[in-house]
Amino acid sequence: MAERERERQRAREHVRVAVIGSGFGGLGAAVRLRREGITDFVVLERADAVGGTWRDNSYPGCACDVPSHLYSFSFAPNPEWPRNFSGQAHIRAYLERVTDTFGLRPHLRLRSEVRGLRWDAQALRWEIETARGALTADVVVSATGPLSDPKLPDVPGLDAFPGKVFHSARWDHDYDLRGKRVAMIGTGASAIQIVPAIQPDVGRLTVFQRTPPWVMPRADRRITGVERWLHTRIPATRALRRQVLWGIRELQVSAFTKRPKELGLIESLAAAHMRKAIKDPEMRARLTPDYRIGCKRILLSNSWYPALARPNVDLVSSGLKEVRGSTLVASDGTETEADAIIFGTGFHVTDMPIAQRVTGAYGTTLAEEWKDGMEALRGATAAGFPNFLTIIGPNTGLGNSSMILIIESQLNYLADFLRQLDVLGGRIALSARPEAVQGWTRMIQRRMERTVWNTGGCDSWYLDANGRNTTAWPGTTAEFRRVTRQVDLAEYEVLRPPDPGATPVRSVTAPAEVTA
């Protein structure tokens, strides 16, 4: 029996690094690992293709609201972006291309959903259970992303709804919406893209809006052939374009993080944008937010307001309270008949679902450690979870710029983390010191106090159940890059394998000393 157990242990595959997820974060990590000379790694993906959120979100009208020349890897420039704000299909194709160009296919393990991760304190490595077998890894890079697990509200009676129900990120392309009575729940970034895209086809469209969003004009256009030719022939022009796009957004940051009052100016632009399409003052009042712009994600669309003004669209200024048969009842009592319900209700952002599956050095799960709010040193490492790094971890989100910039900074940190492990050599692990994590979180939360996310007077997905902002980065991307350039060993505890001969009791040692 014991013999068989050992056999099983031997058979279990071991890798240096296991990356979870194959979106921008996971693929970026894979490229970075290869560039650091590390080839002994796998990328675990639950689906059957790469692309992450850009694979899952295929709803009509899906596009990025950061210009593509900025929303792409600096190491994989694409002079051929077709539009300013490229659509989902192009971004997904870009990620497929990155996977091929950088030779990542051999590292991919598709249909390998991670079921559980457990820290082995004896062997100093992670035991990983996946849908296609178990393996162990020295280091785990969790690139599961904040926008990966759809969040569905708990609506009474939904189970008995006779029609079609799906979430925006799980779009059912086989279901024909033509002529149907459709209810769109939510008015977030997905919903405002879906509504204009399906409005011409559906019979009747009812939009349930709890809180109106601020919507800015979208300066989208085709990138001309001349530009593309220039970007291909003279790469510096492409680089310049990226720099300009980046620079503009860097300059906006202080308004979000330090002087939310300045954003009032932007509000008037958004209001004018709405006035152009919505002529009914009563409708306008319902669509005007009562919080500071930027508090919730600022949305970009030229077609949202015009679509709402169409005769086959109704706006219900209230959330969905319950479903009675095929009747949808809003919180304000409005009743609507529907054939299909589409939830544009967002994702599990502040309660990263992977956290429930990770069991660390204390024997607790990451979700348990994070029950009062996510926290991780420099957005990457949580106390008690050695050799475990998160890409797009706590407090790394941006309100106005490209997350790819954050991802690449976190990859710098990952590379230095692995370099430090190499330098230290031997069987060793690095575990963030609780004091260091707390110090980092205190700094973040102190700076968070003046930001628009905390002072703007709204509830948003930046805030967790306790009202604490555990998702946004209260600074510029340049600053984030600076603070994640290096792993400071003073912030970490070096773990060594326990001495086999030693008694488990913490024996007498020389007293700690601090002379001052």
Partner 1 sequence: MNRRPGHVTSGPYAPPVPRTTTTVTSADGSRLYAETHGPDGAPAVVLAHGWTCSTAFWAPVVRDLAADHRVVVYDQRGHGRSPAVAADAYTTRALADDLVAVLEATLTAGERVVVGGHSMGGMTIMAAAERPELRERAAAALLCSTGSAQLAAESRVFPLRTPQGRRRAHRLMLHSRAPLGPVSPVAKWALRYATMGPGASADQIEACARIVHACPTGVRSHWGRMLAALELTGSVARLELPTAIVAGTADRLTPFVHARRLGAVLPDCRGITELPGLGHMTPIEDPGAVAGRLRELVRDHLTTRAPASRGKRQPKEKKSA
Question: Distance (Å, rounded) from C-alpha 113 to C-alpha 47?
Answer: 7
Cβ closer to partner 1: 226 or 514? 514
Cα angle, residue 106 at apex, residues 100 and 111 outer, rounded to 5°:
100
Task: Give the largest Cα separation in the chain, rounded.
Answer: 80
Cβ closer to partner 1: 224 or 509? 509
Cβ closer to partner 1: 1 or 512? 512
Q: Give the nearest distance from C-beta 138 to partner 1 in angstroms.
A: 16
- Using DSSP, state whether 114 is helix, strand or coil: strand
Question: Distance (Å, rounded) from C-alpha 207 to C-alpha 182?
Answer: 9
Q: Give the nearest distance from C-beta 124 to partner 1 in angstroms.
A: 13
Cite the beta strand spans of 152-221 per DSSP E: 164-167, 181-185, 204-208, 215-216
Q: Give the nearest distance from C-beta 125 to partner 1 in angstroms.
A: 18
C-beta separation of 375 from 470 below 8 A = yes
Cβ closer to partner 1: 81 or 413? 413
Contact residues toward partner 1 (CB under 8 A) are: 420, 423-426, 428, 433, 482, 485-486, 488-494, 496, 499, 501-502, 506-507, 509-516
Q: Give the nearest distance from C-beta 499 to partner 1 in angstroms.
A: 5
24-35 vs 403-424: helix crossing angle, rounded to 10: 40
Q: Give the nearest distance from C-beta 40 to partner 1 in angstroms.
A: 20
Q: Give the nearest distance from C-beta 249 to partner 1 in angstroms.
A: 21
Question: Distance (Å, rounded) from C-alpha 241 to C-alpha 236?
Answer: 8
Q: Give the nearest distance from C-beta 72 to partner 1 in angstroms.
A: 25
Phi, psi of 415 (to 5 degrees): -65, -40
Cβ closer to partner 1: 226 or 502? 502
Phi, psi of 356 (to 5 degrees): -70, -20
Cβ closer to partner 1: 305 or 492? 492
* Token pair belonging to 295: 């508090």
Cβ closer to partner 1: 368 or 479? 479
DSSP 263: G
Q: Give the nearest distance from C-beta 408 to partner 1 in angstroms.
A: 17
C-beta separation of 294 from 263 below 8 A = yes
24-35 vs 88-101: helix crossing angle, rounded to 10: 20
Phi, psi of 195 (to 5 degrees): -55, -55
Q: Give the nearest distance from C-beta 491 to partner 1 in angstroms.
A: 8
* Token pair belonging to 184: 């769109």
Full DSSP string of 332-386: TS-EEE-SEEEE---B--SS-GGGGGEE-TTS-BHHHHTTT----BTTTB-TT-T
Question: Distance (Å, rounded) from C-alpha 330 to C-alpha 319?
Answer: 6
Cβ closer to partner 1: 361 or 472? 361
Q: Give the nearest distance from C-beta 214 to partner 1 in angstroms.
A: 35
Cβ closer to partner 1: 235 or 498? 498
Cβ closer to partner 1: 53 or 477? 477
Q: Give the nearest distance from C-beta 409 to partner 1 in angstroms.
A: 14
- Residue 60's beta-bridge partner residues? none
Contacting residues for 321 by C-beta, under 8 A, at least 6 apart: 155, 156, 329, 330, 331
Q: Give the nearest distance from C-beta 239 to partner 1 in angstroms.
A: 20
* Token pair belonging to 484: 């994640």
Residue 379 CA neighbour count, 13 Å, CB half: 32
Cβ closer to partner 1: 1 or 505? 505
Cβ closer to partner 1: 54 or 388? 388
Contacting residues for 236 by C-beta, under 8 A, at least 6 apart: none
